[in-house]
Amino acid sequence: MTTYGTIPAELPRPSLSMIARAREQLGSILGSRRKWEDMIKIHALNLPPNVNEAALRIRTNAVFFKTNYAIVVALLLFLTLLLHPVSLIIIAIMMGAWLLQYMLRDNPLSIYGFVINRTTIITVLTLFTITVFFLTDVMNNVMTGIFFGLTVVVLHGLFRTIDDLSAGDEKEVGGSQC
């Protein structure tokens, strides 16, 4: 008995559910960020009196503003890559390859009747990505952008006082270790 031409009662939507999950996760990550006004208080910026205070400020601010700092580093990395459009195009192609061959694929990859398992796909994609990044200037541009972003984050953490951070969050900051 053939089922050619019949319409299934329920259409599978794996890509839509994955997009919904990614959107929900992104929303929860962005929901954990602090107010930008708290982060950029001009009157809360001053030079630390000693090295111990500087280290304490950097650690405390890194825990308190971790999502904001991640956004700042990602934004500065993106702006750095905008100055090098070839690198941005190569990264977009590599992201597309990872999405199409690994993340969005539900059934195993089959080439000329040979089934290729996920471990082989990950290995080939990883080796290809590393090779492309090192043979082009992409790795240099990415490292420059990340270094620039981390420099901005460390400088902010150094100069931002921790006296006015909310009391309920100090337990979290004091209890966690960096």
Strand partners, 45: 160
4 falls within a domain: no
140 falls within a domain: yes
Q: Which residue has the higher pLDDT, 106 or 170?
A: 106
61 falls within a domain: yes
| Token digits of residue 29 | 């990550």
Residue 97: count of CB within 10 angstroms of its CB: 15
Contacts with 30 (C-beta within 8 Å, 6 or more apart), sequence order:
67
Q: Does the CA dihedral 111-113-116-117 come out positive or negative?
A: positive
Report the domain count for the chain: 1
Write out pLDDT tens, residues 60-76.
888 888 888 999 999 99
Write out pLDDT tens, residues 72-81.
999 999 898 8
16 falls within a domain: no
Question: Domain range holding 129?
Answer: 49-175
76 falls within a domain: yes
35 falls within a domain: no
